[in-house]
Amino acid sequence: MVEHKDVHEEILLAPIAQTGPGFYWAVAGLAVFILWGAIAYAVQFHQGLGVTGLQQPVSWGFYVTNFVFFIGISHAGTLISAILRLSKAEWRRPITRMAEVITVMVLFIGAGQILIDLGRPDRMMNVIRYGRYQSPLLWDATSISAYLTASVVYLYLPMIPDIAVLRDRLKKRKLFYSVLALGWTGTEHQQRILNRAIAIMAVLVIPIAVSVHSVVSFVFSMTLQPMWHSTIFGPYFVVGAIFSGIAALIVAMIVFRKAYGLEPYLKPIHFRYLGQLLLIMALLWFYFTFSEYLTGYYGAEPEEMKVFWAKFIGPFWPFFWAMVLCNFVIPIACLARLSQRTVGKVLIASLSVTVGMWLERFIIVVPTLSFPRVPFPEGVYSPTWVEWGLMAGSFALFALFYLLFTKLFPIISIWEIQEGRETGLKEVEERLLTYLPDEAEANILAVSTRGR
């Protein structure tokens, strides 16, 4: 047993203990994009939102699209991890932490998009000083900050035993790890409290996560605008969020599997299960999209139809049909059969869904604003280098945060992997036995029926 422990610790601590040139190249590459974003924001802060392609009537564009997209990605982590934990899916063990880190990191980026979008970022504290709870933006602020808090706690709790390992095994950052380990020694009492705390957080985090993307959708559906004012927007956005979240999680898993040599931990079976989950979400997403558009089309309300046709055959057709291709056709084709070349197929599907879900957010935000109800001059929105820069910078910043995390903490939970072999196996066997009919009871029953 002791040997097992050492092997896991050695492999999973390796990225923290040693740093190769690959890391510095990656950081340098990301820094270029972050610098582009930083310059773009400095220009925008100095001159005003005029440097963007926004105008009237399209007063929301890339920033709001990215806000919805990033907050959607955040559903990868905490929500999926909580569901897998609660359903006692044993294959979750090497995945949960990777997922939870995505949530925490991407929430910062997502919330940041709204700050970038403000005309007066210097007055953002007004939201707290004069906050008005009738506004869906306040619901967003509340829900997202609750989700961020819960996700940080939910990420941190299962890390405590691993931080203790880092404290004992690693030679650097002694104080940092000692403080964060909270005096963990691994006694039975500590373990019991930890498991209880994780279970409570897992239950708590699910309703919060569902609320987050519901209220994000309410920003649109609470207005009277055509193709926004829809009752299914809440669940539609939540489904899309989980969909894009799983895709992002798979991409992150494959990247770090390759970079850190985690193949023994992240096996094709993990990708197969996640791929099946992605397939289900693709079908669910299609169902929601179909319902949404069919309802609009059949009712044929003129204002709705203006936006509807703009998406189907009008100026937005390339985005709309690319979305259908990326979110439905490609994933279905890739994920229908996963017995061979699982990882490659799942990767293609996930990249495709990530692009497709971004397009979906864009196709929700911009076309509605482009076609006002009144005969107002119609607007054509095309983003400027500032918006592209901030988008590239946001993605790069997210990747950098994630990368730095993997340099400070093990990206796969060491103790949960060990627990899988030590207690998980036995637990699963015991649990399985409780599902089956009791042998002794069955015998007695068989005898009594024969006697009759």
Partner 1 sequence: MALWGMVIDLDRCTGCQACVMACKAENNVPAVGQKEAERGRIISWMQVLTETDEEHHSEKMRFIPRPCLQCDDPPCTKVCPVYATYRNPEGIIAQIYNRCIGCRFCMAACPYNAKYFNWYTYQKEKPGQNPDVSVREKGVVEKCTFCHHRLQKARERAHAEKREIEPGEYNTACAQACPAQAIIFGDLADPGSEVSKLARSPRAFKLQEELGTKPKVIYLTEGEGGG
- The residues binding partner 1 (CB under 8 A) are 47-50, 54-60, 114, 117-121, 123-124, 126-127, 129-132, 134-138, 141, 219, 222-225, 369, 372-377, 379-380
The residue among 34 and 54 lying less far from partner 1, judged by its C-beta, is 54
The residue among 178 and 225 lying less far from partner 1, judged by its C-beta, is 225
Least separation in angstroms between CB 212 and partner 1:
17
Residue positions counted in the chain: 452
The residue among 55 and 178 lying less far from partner 1, judged by its C-beta, is 55
> Which tokens sit at 260?
């850190």
CA atoms within 13 A on the CB side of 375: 0
Q: How far is CA 138 from the centre of its chain?
A: 22
Least separation in angstroms between CB 235 and partner 1:
21
Least separation in angstroms between CB 229 and partner 1:
10
Q: How far apart are CA 239 and CA 27, in angstroms?
A: 33
Q: How many CB atoms lie within 10 A of CB 430?
A: 9
Q: How far apart are CA 404 and CA 231, in angstroms?
A: 41
The residue among 131 and 183 lying less far from partner 1, judged by its C-beta, is 131
> Which tokens sit at 166?
């880092």
The residue among 78 and 143 lying less far from partner 1, judged by its C-beta, is 143
Least separation in angstroms between CB 113 and partner 1:
12
- Distance from first CA to last CA of the chain, Å, rounded? 53
Helix 96-117 to helix 233-260 angle (10° resolution) is: 120
The residue among 303 and 422 lying less far from partner 1, judged by its C-beta, is 303
Least separation in angstroms between CB 421 and partner 1:
51
Least separation in angstroms between CB 327 and partner 1:
25
The residue among 139 and 402 lying less far from partner 1, judged by its C-beta, is 139
Q: How far apart are CA 325 and CA 306, in angstroms?
A: 23
- List, in order, residues 6 or more apart from 190 with CB less than 8 Å away: 184
Least separation in angstroms between CB 277 and partner 1:
34
Q: How far apart are CA 61 and CA 370, in angstroms?
A: 10
CB 184 within 8 Å of CB 190: yes
The residue among 235 and 379 lying less far from partner 1, judged by its C-beta, is 379
Least separation in angstroms between CB 368 and partner 1:
8
| 3-class secondary structure, 173 | coil
Tell me 420's DSSP state: I
> Which tokens sit at 253?
């898993």
> Which tokens sit at 137?
């933006």
